[in-house]
Amino acid sequence: MVVLGSCAAWPLITAAAGDGRPEGMLLAVLAVAAGYAAGRIGGALLPVAAPCAGALAGIALTVSVPHLAPGPQITAPLGHAGATTAMVILSAGAACCAAWAASAPALRSAMRLLAAGIAVTAAVLGSVTGCVAAAAVLAGSLAAGRVRRRGVALAGLGVITAGAAGLTWAVAGGAVPEGFAASLEGRLTPHRVALWQDALGLARTHAGLGVGPGRFGELSAASLGSPASDGKPHSAPLQLAAEQGVVGVVLLAAVFGWLLYALWRSPRPTPVALTAAAALTALAAVATLGNALSFTAVAVGTGYLAGLATSRPYALDTARRAVEVRGGAVR
């Protein structure tokens, strides 16, 4: 609550200082909070059915609304502005969580087949990155069954996320070798790299409060020079650095750090917690390269998956109380 409250309050402060538009950030915070509450409730009542329903809803939304939002779409290299890839990742993660929550072997296999089908659907939709990411989530979920100390695994996923954000920052600042930079620019497109460079430049000159939420498109030369631009730098850390300053980046890191901590303390089995963490890590990597978090459906899905993986099923509490009652009777 403290972290989400800060994420809602800080955009209002920076908007007042820089004449920005905080509505988008406030909507994202509300969407994450609503999704998280729904995930906690669904995971407590229906630990298998709730993630299965979430997986089906996510992939159905991706198929029926390919762009997930009106306006210009930048398709390379992350599908439709990263939204398709993000929804595929969340759907696959929910299906894998349902698989680990199921006790019947047949149902567990069916949930894993659903995750594999989600990867195939992404390929059919033309999102190669989404297909690879969903397959990686499925493979990570299978590997999670062999992990006994979730803390070490979660710390490793945190390092991976920090590395992805650091690489984006290094590319924007020209701090990578020329050959490697040219290869990345060819995959990411020169326009995206130019957006990152503009965002980093704004972050350096407005490190305290940023230029104001929603104002990047007005001040970026690369954004103004492209008729297909949507006014965003296509990198969540760089967008927050440019529009909300250093504090915005710290709050984003705090949200992800809190998610990892909550998964570490989660009463759910380790495979469920690590599966959700793997999906959220993949989503974070996509968000550093695109504007996936700008879509309300992605924000809701992120909160929903986190809520599922940190919920306490009522069946666990019922079994624990029964054991305590029997133990008291024996004494």
**What are the pLDDT digits (tens) for 240-278?**
999 999 999 999 999 999 999 999 999 999 999 999 999
| Residue whose pair of structure tokens reads 């538009």 in the numeric block | 21
If you average pLDDT over residues 7-33, what whole number do you get?
92
Q: Which residues lie below 8 Å from residue 245, measured CB to CB, with a gap of 6+? A: 14, 203, 206, 207, 208, 209, 210
**Per-residue pLDDT tens digits for 75-104:** 444 435 478 899 999 999 999 999 999 999
Count Cα atoms within 13 angstroms, Cβ side, for 17.
16
Residue-level pLDDT at 199? 94
Rg (CA), the chain: 20
Q: How many helices (H) and strands (E) does the chain have?
A: 15, 0
CA distance 232 to 242: 10
Least confident of 32-41, 186-195, 301-310: 186-195
The SS3 of residue 77 is: coil
pLDDT band at 66 (very low <50, low <70, confident <90, very high): low
- Judge whether residue 3 has pLDDT over 70: yes
Q: What is the mean pLDDT of the chain?
A: 88
CA angle, 123 then 124 then 126, to 5°:
65
Q: What confidence category does residue 68 fall into, taking pLDDT thresholds of 50, 70 and 90?
A: low
Residues 127-170 pLDDT 10s: 888 999 999 999 999 999 999 889 999 999 999 999 999 999 99
Distance of alpha carbon 289 from alpha carbon 196, whole angstroms? 9
Q: How many CB atoms lie within 10 A of CB 312?
A: 15
Distance CA 98, CA 55 (A): 9
Is-contact 210 233, C-beta < 8 A? Answer: no
Structure tokens at 94: 């929910």
Please list, residue by residue across 99-124, b when 16 or more beta carbons sit within 10 angstroms of its beta carbon and e when fewer do. Answer: bbbbeeeeebeebbebbebbbebbee
Looking at 93-102, 112-121, 315-324, which range is the least confident one? 315-324
Look up tokens 């009777």; give the residue: 329
In contact, 172 and 199? CB cutoff 8 Å: yes
Beta strands in the chain (DSSP E): none
Share of the chain residues as helix, strand and coil, in percent rounded to the nearest 5: 75, 0, 25
Query: What is the percentage of the chain residues whose pLDDT exceeds 90?
Result: 65
Distance CA 48, CA 95 (A): 9
Report the pLDDT value the prediction gives residue 179, as an integer from 0 to 100.
82
Interval 296-309: pLDDT, tens: 899 999 999 999 99
Three-state SS for 305?
helix
Tell me the C-alpha distance between 260 and 277, whole Å: 7
- What is the pLDDT at residue 231? 80
